[in-house]
Amino acid sequence: MKKLTDHIEYVKGQPHHVRRSVAFGTAGGFAAFVGLIWISGSLATGAFHIQGATFADANTPTAVEAVAPSDSGVAGVAAALAAPKAAHIEIIDTSSTTAPSEKPEPTVIPF
């Protein structure tokens, strides 16, 4: 039986495409192992459990309780119902008032 280090040395001597296949196969195997552990743990703890014993029980409509209106959320409704305004672009001049002969100092961003 070969040792793991012997197998690694053997793979190092192979062409690039073989080494890449071994690397992706090993990474895929580890990912599948972790995924299998995760899915089995989730199924064992009931993370994917459907409420109700049957499909019909899980899909029965539920009653919705009427709630008295309150002042919360009124601002959003008022903004939505406001008269629409025409879209416009406002250009603001932010140029400095330095004389054209003066060079502006470079901006330095400290890190």
pLDDT tens per residue, range 16-67: 999 999 999 999 999 999 999 999 998 888 877 766 666 666 566 666 565 5
Q: What pLDDT score does 45 carry?
A: 87
The phi-psi region of residue 59 (left if phi > 0; otherwise alpha if psi is between -120 and 50; otherwise beta) is alpha
This model's pTM is above 0.85? no
Using CA atoms, how far apart are residues 13 and 1, in angstroms rounded to an integer? Answer: 19
Q: What pLDDT score does 26 carry?
A: 94
Q: Is the model more confident about 4 or about 24?
A: 24
Q: What pLDDT score does 83 carry?
A: 63
CB atoms within 10 A of CB 22: 15
pLDDT tens per residue, range 68-109: 555 556 666 666 666 667 777 787 777 766 555 667 777 787
Using CA atoms, how far apart are residues 73 and 82, in angstroms rounded to an integer? Answer: 15
105 contacts 98 by C-beta, under 8 angstroms: no
67 contacts 75 by C-beta, under 8 angstroms: no
